[in-house]
Amino acid sequence: GGEVGASLGSASAGGEKPLSSAWQAALSGATSMSQGQRKRPPPRRPVGKPPENRPARALFCLGLKNPLRKVCIDVVEWKPFEWFILFTIFANCVALAVYTPYPNSDSNATNAQLEQIEIIFMVIFTLECFMKIIAYGFVLHPGAYIRSVWNSLDFLIVVIGLVSGALDFLMQGEGGEAGFDVKALRAFRVLRPLRLVSGVPSLQVVLNSILKAMVPLLNIALLVMFVIIIYAIIGLELFSGALHFTCYNNETGSRMESPHPCDNGTAGFNCSNLNKDGQYFVCLDDWEGPNYGITNFDNFGLAMLTVFQCITMEGWTDMMYYIADAMGNSWQWIFFVSMIILGAFFVMNLILGVLSGEFSKEREKAQARGDFMKLRKKQQIEEDLRGYLEWITAAEDIEMEGDDKKETDAKAVEVDPDKGDENDEAQQPSWWQKKKKGFDRINRRARRACRKAVKSQAFYWLIIVLVFLNTAVLASEHYRQPDWLSQFQDYTNLFFVVLFTCEMLLKMYSLGFQGYFVSLFNRFDCFVVISSITEVVLTSTEIMPPLGVSVLRCVRLLRVFKVT
């Protein structure tokens, strides 16, 4: 403190130093005292992206300072180069889609041009592969090119492309009599779209999640098979041979149109219902069954196939109706409904749950890797900023001390005793100010009470009960309802509109407009109330046609979401 006062005093008395020099001296003194006479080293310049852990040598001869390797590292890690490779892969996929295969060695002009373009693609992919091998090494150390799964896939695709191109060239040189069909290797071109996976991290997350989910999916598959076997055995015991009966004309022996199962008893479909114009039908066991005899429970294999079809929810209702026609509609529906609930809704959705869980894990891993790199850069920036903040804090402390000193000096000034009465009279509040102050006090108390009320559990449950009552009134509307019910619904709707409007205004008053509209749910509630008021006005004035009024009345149902 003494050093600061001495520096300020010498600056003001001697007049040799300007005020800015005195302020700088005080700042340096305060900073040195706060840091315990320690001098802070100058802030370090951010060093940018930290270097990767690369091997000292690649291919046994190329060091980190080798010009060729440095160029390869800069190129393969250059963002435009990555985008160029992705664009090339996409263009190659388009070329593969345009290519039209012909039998034997036939071709056309388009295919010939695509073969020339294929050479350009192979050159680009081969150069990319060689540059990455030079930059990262091949296989003998961590982080090498071939140790990455995606790079291994790229390398395999490039090698297959080079081999197929070389064999194609040799066959053309020998007049096509080499006896080796290159088309078998050309089929591996379909793997090239997989190179997009190595260039797009989000696709890597998806594919990794599918691969990681294979083991859990095996357990789910066993559970699905277990459910299918159980229901197949039950269906085999209950419905074996029941789907081969259908109606035949008793005179001509022709089968009914759109055949379906029947029953000779009274439980299922009776063929006598088709008797007309002297034609009589009887139920005979001479039909192969639905879907040309594939869909039935005659043996264990077909029963499993039928249960699998039902679990996939493909035509399971038709199968249930077939069984009802063949055996009646007393209890057979329990078999199918329980199979759909357990097999389709529960077991099959477990597959989606496993895939979703593995995808979330892989996405978190990818985000963690990206966040780690961002954190390292952020820590470097924060270390540089921390020193500047110390200087700013010290300057703010000195400025605040100066402001406090000014306030103390102002309070120490004595007031003239002759003018004291005049000052007291001038400081007396007026009648309007007193009334305004009293009104503000009452307004604050009222808003506090209203805020406490709208946030209470009793108010919450009151609104919930009103919403349910309003929903019950809306649900009571039906076709050809009596006039007294229509009048009751109109008056009740008006009553609920008034109540919900009062609720909205009460919340606006207690929370304020800004506080009320901060909540998205309050905005939704305001929209419903305004729509309800508009519907009441348009209904009473008969301005809008009935269809428009009906649409607005549907907005009332949105009040049900207030329960949430």
Binding residues for Ca(2+): 314
Give the residues across from 62 on adjacent strands. Answer: 58
Q: Which two tokens stand for residue 100?
A: 């039209």
Across 457-504, the runs of DSSP E, i.e. the strands, are: none
Coil, helix or strand for 63?
strand
Coil, helix or strand for 222?
helix
DSSP 83-97: HHHHHHHHHHHHHHH
Phi, psi of 85 (to 5 degrees): -65, -40
Q: Which two tokens stand for residue 165?
A: 């191109």
- Contacts of residue 351, defined as CB under 8 A and 6 or more positions apart, other chains included, come to 217, 220
Q: Any idea how long the chain is?
A: 564
> Cα–Cα distance between 374 and 392 in angstroms, integer?
26
Closest CA to 70 of 135, 123, 141: 135
Give the residues across from 249 on adjacent strands. Answer: 281
DSSP 121-159: HHHHHHHHHHHHHHHH-SSSSTT-STTSHHHHHHHHHHH
> Cα–Cα distance between 312 and 320 in angstroms, integer?
14
Eight-state DSSP code of residue 522? H
Query: Residue 292 corresponds to which amino acid?
Result: Y
| Residues of the binding site | 314
Specify whether the CB–CB gap between 57 and 66 falls below 8 A. no
> Cα–Cα distance between 392 and 394 in angstroms, integer?
5
